[in-house]
Amino acid sequence: MRDSWDSLPVLAQDLIIAGALLLPLLVIGGVLMRGFRPLPLVRALMWRFRWANLLFILLIAVSTGMGIGLIAQERGLRIGSAQAAEKFDLVVTAPGSELTMMLAAVFLQPSAVPLLDGVAYDRIANHPQVQIAAPIAFGDSHDGAPVVGTITDFVTYLSDGRIEGRIFARSGEAVVGAAIDLQIGDRFTPAHGRGSGADAEAHEGVEIEVVGRMARSGSPWDRAILIPVETVWEVHGLANGHTFEEGDRIGPPFTPELFPGTPAVIVHAGELWANYALRSEFTVAGETMAFFPGTVLADLYRVMGDVRQAMSVMSIVTQVLVAASVLLGLFILTRLFQRQLAMLRALGAPRRFVMAVVWGYGVTLLVAGTALGLAFGYAAALVLSRIVTQRTDILVTASITWAEVNLALGFLSAMSLLSLVPALVVLTRPVVENLRQ
Amino acid sequence: MAMPLQISDLEVRAGRRMLLTVAELSAPAGALIGIRGPSGAGKSTFLHALSGLIEARGRLCWGEVDLPRLRPERRTAFRARNMGLIFQDFLLFEELSPQDNAGLSGLFKPRRNREAIGARAAKALARLGVPEGTRTVGSFSGGERQRVAIARALATDPGLLLADEPTASLDRRAADALIEDLTGLARAGGKTLIAVSHDTHLLERLDRVLTIEDGQVTEDTGVQAA
């Protein structure tokens, strides 16, 4: 049984789950409405209490949309951040907070972090399993965008070689991210620092020329300006990692004694399995710390997951409250309509028909509210995603998946079952008494 | 199909309180009968007993069917097949068109009967001069609404028409026109009409008038005539 289920395509599984969730609603609807035409009366009820109905539909929509939007947004952020960190197999930094180091090195969030010295870098770069050991140097910016010093191998690796123009070949050249408002051939002077505290005149006289543009990656590196790490050191009046005899050469190898320091080294191993050994080797107490950004993110997701769970509980509580208010509303509205419902019984309408009218009315509110809720949830996730993308440059895409649809269908089905209660209560009221009211 | 009425030892109670007793009463099929009496005398209770809407004891036979002996759902089905009910304040769905209101029974009748009910509703509406179109009855006058209610009662082609104060919500002119229509249609169709009313204009047009006081039939013009 389990094997046959697992052998089904995912879409088929989702459709089956959706069908199973909808089944109670369909069965109740089928049993109640078989052979009848209650819809004209449902329409009449909908129109009679249109404002109250609209309010109920909005209540259902907001409570459903809140839950759905929350889940969709959280998933979008998780996928977006994971994709943004995809290129960063292993990061080596000075000992400290992995989260702070990851946010600084992978997501380019400004932060003051200690530096690794030339010996440490040399040990990493010369390890036989290390294919790329990219020093990352930051601290400057241009027009709010971080200016990051690194090496050409890393730029090629980061952009998968998708570069318009060319990679920087000497100090004073730059490759910009896809979201940077600079064209190839443009020149700029970096400001010292980032944000409101940036000093635009600190590096006066330094001119950097844009020679290439990376394709969009959906990561904060789209809004970064990459320059040779030597340029960063030079504009800060430091040694550039090379001896005088090496001339204007850029990139590794660096002379450890002339290596001014780097906050992080991005490591790409030749083989995937080697990453675990490297993490172990580069984690040296009091000297260096190696971590997988993916693992740090997974920890972060776990915390986010707890928050999401708490918010999901709140959203479920809201939905239950809304469900209770909808049921209460159904009781009240059917009381307002009880003379007409009693008249139907007096005319000879079977109990099942009267139930079909009341239940159909309730379910119409629920279906409309849930459908609108899905749309609300999607719209909310879309707006939030755009805000997060704009602020972090992590490409967050909102999408409604079968999980959200099934959540909505489950709510709908459960509520359709509960809607039988007011429909049954209507039948317990004496016809003659209701006719006389 | 109109059916004769035969009542003996009929009792309607609310708990231990006796609301209505009718020792003997009979009426031939197609009779037009009025019921009058002071408020709270038991007129509507009698009408509800005749329609099987309330529990009663004794015999109340429409033709061969002894209504109090039927289970509630069988009484509902009997009502759906044989009775057309007209209420004082019409009890229409104001959001629906006159045609939809008049053909209301078609919504819960078997599919095969729907077309016939729709056609009869349309014919009754035309005969009663109800304006055609897509307007909902919410915009209708009282007289027009009561005509729609009569068309609704006639749409299932019942043998029995039971009306509770059918002219009470209408002005004199509209009431007279309605009396003309209601009695005319009942006679033309050979239907039994039983109407609770204070309206002397209506009662004068009927074959026989029962007076109910304190839950008992105290006067029966049909008996006097005999």
pLDDT, one tens digit per residue, over B29-50 is: 999 999 999 988 999 999 999 9
For residue B132, count other CB atoms closer than 10 A to its CB: 11
Tell me what the mean pLDDT of segment A236-258 comes to: 86
Query: Computed over its alpha carbons, how large is the radius of gyration of chain A?
Result: 31
Per CB-CB distance under 8 Å, the chain B contacts of A346 are 51, 53, 79, 85
Cβ partners under 8 Å of residue A377, min gap 6: A64, A65, A66, A67, A68, A69, A72, A400, A404
**Contact in structure between B186 and B32 (CB atoms under 8 Å):** yes
The C-alpha atoms of residue B181 and residue B177 are separated, in whole angstroms, by: 6
**B165 Rama sector, left if φ>0, alpha if ψ -120 to 50, beta otherwise:** left
Measured between CB atoms, which of A35, A38, A436 is closest to B110? A35
What six digits make up the tokens of B38? 């002071």
Which residues of chain B are within 8 Å of residue A339 when distances are taken between CB atoms? Answer: 91
Specify the pLDDT at position A310: 80
Give me the percent of chain B exceeding a pLDDT of 70: 97
CA–CA separation, B121 vs A222, rounded Å?
Answer: 72
**Mean of pLDDT values over A332-358:** 90
- Whether residue B106 lies within 8 A of chain A, CB to CB, comes out as yes
Burial A365-396 (b: 16+ CB within 10 A, else e): bbbbbbbbbbebbbebbbebbeebbeebbbbb
Q: Is B110 on the interface with A (CB under 8 A)?
A: yes
Tokens of A342: 């009693």
In this prediction, residue B223 has a pLDDT band, given cuts at 50, 70 and 90, of low
The answer to whether residues A95 and A288 touch, using CB atoms and an 8 Å cutoff, is yes
Provide the token pair at B136.
Answer: 């909902």
Nearest to B164 by CA among B112, B127, B202, B190: B202
Task: Give the pLDDT of residue B225.
Answer: 43
Angstrom CA distances, A414 to A65, A332, A407, stand at: 17, 20, 11
| pLDDT computed for residue B226 by the predictor | 38
Mean pLDDT throughout B12-29?
A: 92
Which of B79, B95, B108 minimises the CB distance to A353? B108
Closest CA to B201 of B179, B225, B169: B179
- How far, in Å, CA of B197 to CA of B43, rounded? 9
**Within a 10 A sphere around the Cβ of B7, how many other Cβ atoms?**
22
Report the mean per-residue pLDDT for chain A: 88
What domains sit in chain B, N to C, each tagged with a CATH number?
Answer: 5-225 (3.40.50.300)
Closest CA–CA distance from residue B25 to any residue of chain A (Å): 23
Contacts of B54 in chain A (CB under 8 A): 432
User: Mind listing the pLDDT tens digit for each residue in B104-121?
Assistant: 999 998 888 899 999 999
